[in-house]
Amino acid sequence: MPDPLSLIAPSLASLGLSTARPLVLIDVDEVLGLFMQGFGDFLKSHDLEMRIDRFALFQNIYRPGATEHLDLAEGKKLFDAFFAGHCDQIEAAPGAIDALNRLSDHAEILILSNAPAEAERLRTDWLRKHGLAHPLILNTGPKGPIAAGLVAQTSHPTAFVDDLLGNLDSVADHSPLTSTFQHVADLRLRPHAPRSDRHPRIDDWTDLGEAIEASIRR
């Protein structure tokens, strides 16, 4: 009977990754890329504005002068439109590309992003534009199950980076030997982002890269 994890995650070999080196799983939005900034620019083109006064997405979208945020359903439509046609226009998080390039000398890198399927081509283009030839997996929902299926294929140390505690907790629960790190790229979001003692919060990519490297050399 097939291992249930093998039904969730693709094989590392099929992704062009070796099982003979450590594996690092990296999120994109607010980790590798400045999503809130890019989405905010997109909203401006629709005569809307992003007011970051909480760690949220749709609740931060307003019409100019409004005191109530945009209807959530309208926000979701804009979110889908952004990923379908504009998600390749975000800027890289400061220091992220250099840190990832250094990590790739010691580990296999896999980009694990929660994004609509329509975003795959543009998200791949964005990675290539920044010289990141690492494979990309688009996921929906908590990342623990797919992460567990991926890391189960290697006996080497593994690490995972995300901005959302829900994904970090999910990975820690499903793959407890994986080192987990929280990173919040947007300066405006950082004061509002919840923290957890389960996952070191490192918002500087130089320090984060060093911490990841230390964890996979254990």
**Which letter, b or e, does each residue of 170-195 get, where b requires 16 or more Cβ atoms within 10 Å of its Cβ?**
bbbebbeebbbbbbbbbeebbeebee
Taking CB atoms within 8 Å and a gap of at least 24, the contacts of 42-49 are 42/78, 42/81, 42/82, 42/86, 42/89, 43/78, 46/78, 48/78
Tell me, what's the pLDDT at 6?
47
Residue that is written with structure tokens 């309208």 in the block:
74
- Give the pLDDT confidence score for residue 61 in this predicted structure: 97
User: Which pLDDT belongs to residue 7?
Assistant: 52
pLDDT in the model for residue 1: 30
Tokens for 31, please give them.
Answer: 């980790």
pLDDT of residue 193: 97
How much is the pLDDT for 8? 78
Structural domains present in the chain = 4-34+91-216 (3.40.50.1000), 35-89 (no CATH)
3-state secondary structure at position 203:
coil
Determine if residue 16 is left, alpha or beta; phi over 0 gives left, psi from -120 to 50 gives alpha, anything else beta.
left
Q: Which two tokens stand for residue 69?
A: 């945020």
160 vs 25: CA distance, rounded Å: 5
Instruction: Answer yes or no: are the C-beta atoms of 143 and 170 closer than 8 Å.
Output: yes
| pLDDT tens, N- to C-terminus, the chain (218 residues) | 334 454 579 999 999 999 999 999 999 999 999 999 999 999 999 999 999 999 999 999 999 999 999 999 999 999 999 999 999 999 999 999 999 999 999 999 999 999 999 999 999 999 999 999 999 999 999 999 999 999 999 999 999 999 999 999 999 999 999 999 999 999 999 999 999 999 999 999 999 999 999 999 97
Bridge partners, 61 (sequence order): 50
Chain centre distance of CA 189? 15
